[in-house]
Structure 1
Amino acid sequence: MNSSMEKMPQTQTPQSQPIFYTPVKDIVEKIKENEVGVIRDNELVYLVMNRPDNNFNPEYVEKLHKCLDEIEMIEGPKFMVTIGKSTRLFSSGMDISSGKDDPSIISKLPGILQTVIQRIHLLPFPTLCVFNGSALAGGLFFGLAHDYVLMRNGKTYISMAELIYGVTIPIYFTAFIQQQLAPYAIRKLKYGKRFNAKDALNLNIVENIFDDYEQLETQIKELKGSANLCKYKQQIKQTKLNLSYISLQHSPEVQRQTIKLEQPKL
């Protein structure tokens, strides 16, 4: 498996003293030759993506699932932070070149990508995605699967770029984005236009924007307070299932009955 799991040193300090966190820049540098890896820093658990363009093919999605297996096994409070090592491109979406030798893979890619998007969206603990580079097409949907999204200010942009190339967005993804974003934001995105960080913030697509790692670390610390809610894992997962009921009806996983979909519970 081309992934790594590393635990940063944790200093036992009295409750009255602050906990020291590893700088995000140092976290991402821990992932060197691996395409994806997991690093734990106190209650923060980083999922660091390090593939060229971080585009999704069957092998890469499988590695992501194995990393998520590791993260789910971590006991105690946790707050997952997904971040790309590159500051140019967070993810360009699906890896169309993976169908070069087997064209049938192309038609399977949306369903394969959906498995990891759906899994992240239903994780029973808080999640954050950092768009430290541009997020396009499936990469944007992948990021929106998280509970919170932060975005680097500057040349970074988001786009439903598949529309530019005449690709129809499958119904699961359209149902999913309707539950994640306001109708006004979807109307702006649906023709594939690029939006920078300030636009994304104004459209309420992201929670906040940052200029540098120092600002990012401050914003992560502001959001991570919800990590203590992990003790209610079952309630969190059921609530997320309830909120996702409509989009899950269009899920191939549900249709294959690998997920038992029940009516929302009160």
Structure 2
Amino acid sequence: MSLIDLPLVKLTNPDPSFPALFLLHLSNGTENRFTKQFTSEVMQALDFVEQKLDSLSQEEAARGGALVTTSTGKFYSNGLAIEAAIKEGETFYIPYHQMLARLLTFRIPTVAAINGHAFAGGCMFALAHDYRVMRADRGWIAMNEVDIGLPLIPGMAAIVKAKITNASYLRDCLLTGHRFKASDAVAAGFVDRAVAQDDLLDAAMKYAVALAPKANGLTQKIHLIKAEMYRDAVVLLLTGGTTPGAFLAKL
């Protein structure tokens, strides 16, 4: 059942018998590059989810809830609209960082169903979810800033470090821009399952349904657990500024 249908995102309830189960479909062209409008619409969808959670009956809330995001085609997300990001600076990056922090600490479990490539800002968006299921036969997930000549600003580096915890894989990810196929990302520990394309959404939904009861009551408990779990990343996303290596001036 469709809940909101905006130009760049669509939020549905795929199972009317489970009103706190949500599917957010990304549809900003063929690449899902993050613009200010795209970021704003994702935030509007998250607002709607929380409003819906607060309107449920006690019995419905007792089942918990979960959110799955996905897209169609070649890309899950090809990152940021780089030209706009460079031109607009903080007015571009700050809302994007706020979106990542919100998703990172969202009050119900979140699952990314990665249907295609997830590069740079798209990789960070996927990493902001609690769990990731990736199409096995096609698609890479990568942080390719080193190849396109861009440094990482504090919050962006922090979210990658929070989710790719093996030092060797983190080094390869950030210093070489290594493109992880699904099986490699599973081996590295930051993607949970690699599945056939036809099974992708079903596998992600099964994760969501299994995890939903952990948010029983739909209180702030999951939000606060995640906030402390990822405290360093959240703080840097919200207050770390947009200057890479600013602390180096004190050396």
TM over 0.5: yes
Structure 1 residues 66, 90: closer, same or farther in 2, change over 3 A? same
Of residues 191, 202, 209, the one that matches 1:217 is 202
Q: Does the CA contact (< 8 Å) of 1:185 and 1:205 recur in 2?
A: no
Give runs of aligned pairs for residues 240-255 of structure 1, distance below 5 A. Answer: 240-253=226-239
1:193 Cα deviation (Å)?
1.7
Helix, strand or coil at the partner of 1:249: helix
Aligned to 1:56: 34
Counterpart of 2:202 in structure 1: which amino acid? Answer: E
Q: Does the CA contact (< 8 Å) of 2:66 and 2:109 recur in 1?
A: yes
| Structure 1: gaps spanning 5 or more residues | 8-29, 256-266
Give runs of aligned pairs for residues 1-266 of structure 1, distance below 5 A. Answer: 6=2, 34-42=7-15, 43=18, 44-52=21-29, 53-75=31-53, 76=61, 77-84=64-71, 86-98=72-84, 104-183=87-166, 184-190=168-174, 191-214=176-199, 216-230=201-215, 231=217, 233-253=219-239
1:165 Cα deviation (Å)?
1.1
- The two structures have a TM-score, normalised by structure 1, of 0.77
Larger proportion of helix: 2
Structure 1 residues 239, 209: closer, same or farther in 2, change over 3 A? same
Counterpart of 1:50 in structure 2: which amino acid? Answer: S
Structure 1 residues 180, 210: closer, same or farther in 2, change over 3 A? same
Between stretches 136-145 and 155-164, larger displacement belongs to: 155-164
Q: Does the CA contact (< 8 Å) of 2:68 and 2:208 recur in 1?
A: no
Helix, strand or coil at the partner of 1:94: coil
Between stretches 49-58 and 89-98, larger displacement belongs to: 89-98
Aligned to 2:57: none
| Structure with the larger RCO, 1 or 2 (CA within 8 Å, 6+ apart) | 2
Query: 1-side partners of 2:34 and 2:48: how far apart?
Result: 20
Q: Does the CA contact (< 8 Å) of 1:115 and 1:253 recur in 2?
A: no
Helix, strand or coil at the partner of 1:74: helix
Q: Paired residues, what number?
A: 224
- The two structures have a TM-score, normalised by structure 2, of 0.81
1:147 Cα deviation (Å)?
0.5
Query: 2-side partners of 1:202 and 1:225: how far apart?
Result: 23
Helix, strand or coil at the partner of 2:213: helix
Counterpart of 1:209 in structure 2: which amino acid? Answer: A
Helix, strand or coil at the partner of 1:128: strand
1:98 Cα deviation (Å)?
3.2
Give RMSD over aligned pairs. Answer: 2.3
Query: 2-side partners of 1:171 and 1:254: how far apart?
Result: 6
Structure 1 residues 49, 175: closer, same or farther in 2, change over 3 A? same
